[in-house]
Amino acid sequence: MIGMTEEYESMTVAQLKELLKEQGLPVSGKKAELIERLMETSGAEEEVVEDTVEETAEEDDFFEEDEDWDDDEDEGHVAKQKPVLDEATQEALSLRAAQKKKTPSFRRTEWFRYKRLSRSGWRAPHGMDSKQRRNYRYRGSLVRVGHGKVAEARGLHPSGFREVMVHNLNDLESIDPETQAARIGRTVGGRKREHIHARADELGIRVLNRRSGV
């Protein structure tokens, strides 16, 4: 049981929730609550598992040489936490994704001529003789009201979370891990960022701009 506890402690909140979903258990709560829920079910299943261990021992010896052939793939994949969404929000997100594929890329005038213009965002043309302002097709599309997306999905991250800007540990306490996700401000230093990552894992909060290796 102690070994199982250490194994659950080393897993992320998203991985713990995947295990709970497979067993048909509720996935809400903090990391400690998820581990406790898994330990309760594993204790009940332990007696059944012991009976089958002896039968599978011979088969395990046969595959002992190739047991680590897929270790690299397992290390590279970490399950990300998903939000709890109703059907209306899920439909709105899928509709917004379909609409976005048909939305033109809005480029400012003569973005192809100067490299500095190609790196900048949209600027509305105001020149009296501007071909783009006069809707000449070869000059690209203008930003208009008709290009707007679904109102129900407006402001949501593509994953379905509503983003909350975080600059310190106190900002994490007011976040709902089922519907909201944290985005760490760009002015936050590396040491404080590590503390925020650790606290977010304890609370079961997803960090959208988590750096690799942190």
Give tens-digit pLDDT for 37-54: 878 877 655 555 455 555
Report which of 186, 182, 178 is spatially closest to residue 197, judged by C-alpha positions. 182
Q: How many domains does the chain have?
A: 3
Mean confidence (pLDDT) of the chain = 82
For residue range 164-195, list pLDDT tens digits in order.
999 999 999 999 999 999 999 999 999 999 99
Residue 59 pLDDT exceeds 60: no
Torsion, Cα 187 190 193 197, to 10 degrees, reads 150
Q: Does any domain span residue 115?
A: yes
Q: Does any domain span residue 208?
A: no
For residue 212, what are its two tokens? Answer: 């690799």
What is the average pLDDT across 149-159? Answer: 91
Structural domain containing residue 193 = 161-203
Answer with the one of 76, 95, 117 that is the final residue of a domain: 76
For residue range 96-112, list pLDDT tens digits in order.
999 999 999 899 999 99
Q: Does any domain span residue 81?
A: no
- Model pTM score: 0.62
Q: Do residues 120 and 169 both lie within one domain? A: no
